Amino acid sequence: MRNIWTIARREYKLYFISPVAYVVLFFFLVILGWFFYQGLGSAIQQSYYQQSAPGVEIVISPLVTLILFTMPAITMRLLAEEQRTGTLELLLTAPVRDWEVVVGKWLGGFLFILTMLAITWVFPIVLNQLEKPGIDQGVLLSGYLGLAFMVASLLAIGVVISSLFANQIAAFFVSLAVVLLLWFIRPPDSATGGLWNDILTNINFVDHYLNFYRGIIDLKDIFYYLSLTALGLYIGTVIVEARRWR
Amino acid sequence: MIRVEGLTKDYGARRAIENLNFNAEKGEILGFLGPNGAGKTTTMRILCGYMPPTSGKAEVSGFDVVEQSLEVRRRVGYLPETVPLYPDMTVFEYLKYMGDLRHLKNVEDRVDEVLEMVSMTDRADGYISALSKGLRQRVGIAQALIHEPEVLILDEPTLGLDPAQIIEARNIIREIGRERTVLLSTHILSEAQQLCNRVLIINKGHIVVEDTPEHLQSHLAGSQKVLLKVNGDTDGLETLVRNVPGISQVTVHTVGEIEFETVPGRDVRPDVARAVVEAGFDLLELHPISLSLEDIFIELTREEPEPPAISDASLNLGEEQDDLDEVED
């Protein structure tokens, strides 16, 4: 367990040294701020016609979209860089288990994203100040909680893909493609039923977030994200092990 | 400390090493000498617990590299040929990271100690990306030493260093080799001679020679072992061969088959051929039994590798060759 923490700690620190993280963070917050501003603007206009204040959705909705797009940038270097420079060989000849390497890297990335999410908390806080009696705390909490789960699984996918490449750019684009695939996958309209349809319906990544979005915490959704995370980490471990056979 | 038995590794269809057998004891510096692709790195990686062999057994400090890989890795310090380091960490941070991964107590003290050993204390806070190759090598050696391993495996530790750095690196290796088992690979015969108690020459996945540097040196001058085969009547053949100047040793295998060894530096085959034919014997074969070590070393040195001098399987008699030439025209 200690090894996981050692590796996670290093990866976490490394994010703050790397310019990529700062750029991502900067644009993330700037774009989120923009959406927030827009959202507030249109909500204020709407309030002339209806007596409701903007909910915390105006923060969370763009946040989810942004997270989906920035995750590949966060995960791309985790294993790809080690393979490119050959440092993976040193990690694998240290008395560290393969799964500890994978989980450690995942954890480092996860803690970084959580830090990023914590920074975005500033928007709901501002929103809370702006309206009476305040925003719906339940929706806020479940929204961010769901986001944490979603991020966990996205990270796991990103780690797997990073482990397949020695080139960060390749890892980035493939991760992005997979994210988009999971985002938009749906059964075709003409389909009527059957196992395949059920699979396609239930595998959609963002659909499982919707409950969290509405303030509902459903075990089914938690299970989906946790399974996906576990699956990703497992496959990642297998791939790292496979490196040893080359 | 290191026991290797029947070690074989295939990468798909390609056989990298085959049936290697060797041992190394504590306090011994064992050298791997061989050209690129000979199988040195493959063997080292297997001994580090990085990858499993296709067949055969390897044990380090009494632990099997496959069954007890983690135990092996705890006791081995490894420096790959490429000396991979993290450029965005400082020297101190990097060594501390490696130390933490090995669960060292008093990591920071240990890092200081090991920096002292490789004379890098004043560069501890610099980024690794700023280091020259020689200094990176030292950091790499520090990394391999930080957990006080029983066995050290160094893949071409002096590759790419300038002469002054090479001397330093060798001193360090000599120093640390006193208490441990060191396995290092190199292209340079003189380096193997200076540093190693024993040398293994590997070529194309097989161990060609295993001996002390001194013995190898005496072979280096190029004595040859040659096989002579003669048909029919062989009375007096042995005496005849012994009398050819430049022959140091003669062994009779069977009737008509003699193995002789030449004095270093002389190729006596033409003399023997002439003597045998002139004495009326039917010369069948005259060829060297194995590549002389000189030929191997010529291949191994860093200049353009020459093709091996021994290419003919039999000695052509002059007249036959001329006849053939005429026919082709």
pLDDT digits (tens, 9 = 90+) for B222-232: 566 788 888 87
Residue A246: band (very low, low, confident or very high) from pLDDT cuts 50, 70, 90: low
Which of B41, B101, B146 best tests the A interface by mutation, with the highest count of A CBs <10 A?
B101
Q: Which CATH class is domain B222-328?
A: alpha beta
Q: Residue A1's closest chain B neighbor by CA?
A: B101
For chain A, give the percent of residues with pLDDT over 90. Answer: 33
Q: Which fold has domain B2-218?
A: Rossmann fold (3.40.50)
- In this structure, are residues B312 and B287 in contact, taking their beta carbons and an 8 Å threshold? yes
Residue B323 is predicted with a pLDDT of 46
Nearest CA distance, B175 vs chain A (angstrom): 23
B74 contacts A246? CB cut-off 8 A? no
pLDDT of residue B314: 43
ipTM entry: 0.85
> Cβ(A197)–Cβ(A143) under 8 Å?
no
pLDDT tens profile A84-136 = 888 998 899 999 999 999 999 999 999 999 999 999 888 888 888 877 777 77
Find the angle CA(A130)-CA(A133)-CA(A134) to the nearest 5 degrees.
55
CB–CB of B128/B159 below 8 Å? no
| Ramachandran angles phi, psi of A153, nearest 5° | -75, -35
**Which residues does residue B203 pair with via DSSP β-bridges, in sequence order?**
B206
Domain parsing of chain B, residue ranges: 2-218, 222-328
Q: What is the pTM of this model?
A: 0.78
The span from the CA of B187 to the CA of B33, in Å, is 6
Are A126 and A39 in contact, with CB atoms under 8 Å apart? no
Smallest Cβ–Cβ distance between A94 and the set B82, B85, B101 belongs to: B101
Which residue from B11, B50, B100 is facing A93, i.e. has the nearest CB?
B50
pLDDT per residue as tens digits for the range B79-122: 999 899 999 899 999 999 999 999 999 999 999 999 988 888 99
Full residue range of the structural domain in which residue A192 is found: 2-243
**CB-based contact B257:B227 (threshold 8 Å):** yes
CB atoms within 10 A of CB B74: 18
pLDDT of A47 strictly over 90? no
Residues contacting residue B328 through CB under 8 Å, at least 6 positions apart: none
Q: How far apart are CA A145 and CA A151, in angstroms?
A: 10
Q: How many domains does chain A have?
A: 1
**Residue A9: per-residue pLDDT:** 94
C-alpha A29/C-alpha B35 separation (Å) is: 55
SS (H, E, C) A137-171: HHHHHHHHHHHHHHHHHHHHHHHHHHHHCCCHHHH
State the DSSP H helix or E strand holding residue B20, giving kind and residue range, or none if neither. Answer: strand B14-24
- Asked whether the predicted pLDDT for residue B322 surpasses 60, the reply is no
The candidate with the shortest Cα–Cα distance to B82, out of A14, A82, A97, is A82
